[in-house]
Amino acid sequence: MTAATLAVWSAQKIVPLTGHRHHKHAPNPVAPDFQAPAPAASISFGPTALAAAMARTATLLNAPPVLLSRLKDSALNDAEILIADGPVFGLTSYIASLADTERTHFAARVGAGITDLYMNGLGYVWRDNAVCLASTLNPHADFLYAGGNASGYGVVLAEAHGSFAGSVTDSKLAAQARNKYLRQVRPFIAKPSPYGEVIHGYSVAFGSRPGTVGAFLRLSETLRRKPRRSPPPPSQRLMGAGGRPPTQIALASYRSNFVLMDALPVADWIDWTRGLRELPADIEPLAFFRLEYAGRAFLAYAHSLSLFRPPFVLMDNVVDHPLWRHRWRRLADQPLSIRWFVIEEKIGERFLNALSALIRLEDRILPETLDLPSGDFVGSSADGAASITRRDGVPYEYALFRDGLALLGGPSPRHITGHRIWHPKHGLE
């Protein structure tokens, strides 16, 4: 395949779960009333969903937001040109041109993305890097998830593994999933974390052989006895009414989300509320565009979408400023064709208002939980569901995660319908 014939893959791929193994744990079960969701028999995804998941997992670090913003760009590009088109997973011939270290790095990123899609498919919502469980010298799994069936009980641990080697087989991936579970997941079950007790664990291994078509997906997870009674309602669980997420894991999740949206000032404010940095020097309001796509309303950070980034701070009169008025009309009068991260409007509004409430706290003592909703999961599924199409029959291409983050691509969204202003201390208007 030459550069002239290179085509970005577009087909929705379905990868079946080729094996599932349970592992005993003592005590068993941890959090007796927690019911683990049934494993998904398969996972389906397109390029937008996988690229978004790879970028989501690459930005779950306490690194400077400007650095993480660069990492997401490379994740999006790699997912486009190294995976072959067609309904069955395969790699392009470009994979053979990569050095061993680069191939290993790409495989790890894809494995992390597949794990994130799988965990969202199981119903989990908020996430963080699991480095908080142990020192970097000790082996530990990759990610912690909250929400879904774990709401009110604690968090679940997930280890991700990806391999694109010529020696990959289903049995070898099964061994990888098992060994990584035993070494990097099981030691932390029933252990405390900053977000609550670790109540369950997963090890997901994904792999494919270059030059062949098809992929293997293996899952190891904690064995649980069936509960003797139905779980209590969310209002009676440990972490607040309605299964509210722990504050710290919600902040970690949305820090990654707003970095992906290039809204780095929001990430700076999140870091300040968590005590990780000084008071941001820029305390001015931030502008977000409101746009519609696939029948949903989203918020996009204005500076990331503007064809002409204004040399002034966007204030309440953003659309009335003589200099910005011309630029606003030029942007609003044409369809947008670039791919970018946005956040579902209602969920984004709830989080930004919750963040403003944390910024206003005089004692800087954060509450244990936040009242945040979860939403739909679109663009990937556990049953190979068909993609959503427009009235003209053209499929929408976007990925929407349960915490509200979305990556838009494919057919252009409708025109921008308005704008919203976020004041750090007063909330979203």
CB atoms within 10 A of CB 275: 8
- Please state, in angstroms and rounded to a whole number, the distance separating the CA atoms of residues 47 and 380: 10
Angle at 127 between CA 125 and CA 130, to 5 degrees: 150
Q: What is the pLDDT of residue 125?
A: 96
- Please state, in angstroms and rounded to a whole number, the distance separating the CA atoms of residues 12 and 121: 16
pLDDT per residue as tens, the chain (429 positions): 333 344 568 888 999 999 999 999 887 778 889 999 999 999 999 888 999 999 999 998 878 888 887 777 777 777 778 899 888 999 999 898 889 899 999 999 999 999 999 999 999 999 999 998 876 657 889 999 999 999 999 999 999 999 999 999 999 999 999 999 999 999 999 999 999 999 999 999 999 999 999 999 999 999 987 765 555 554 444 443 346 899 999 999 999 999 999 999 999 999 999 998 888 887 899 999 999 888 899 999 998 765 434 433 333 344 444 444 444 444 444 444 457 899 999 999 999 999 999 999 998 899 999 999 999 999 886 554 445 555 555 667 889 999 999 998 866 665 688 899 999 999 999
25 three-state secondary structure:
coil
Q: What is the pLDDT of residue 412?
A: 63
Q: Is the model's pTM score more than 0.85?
A: yes
Structure-token pair, residue 17? 């779960």
Whether 355 contacts 269, CB under 8 Å: yes
User: In residues, how long is the chain?
Assistant: 429
Whether 301 contacts 352, CB under 8 Å: no
96 three-state secondary structure:
helix
Rg (alpha carbons) of the chain, rounded to whole number: 22
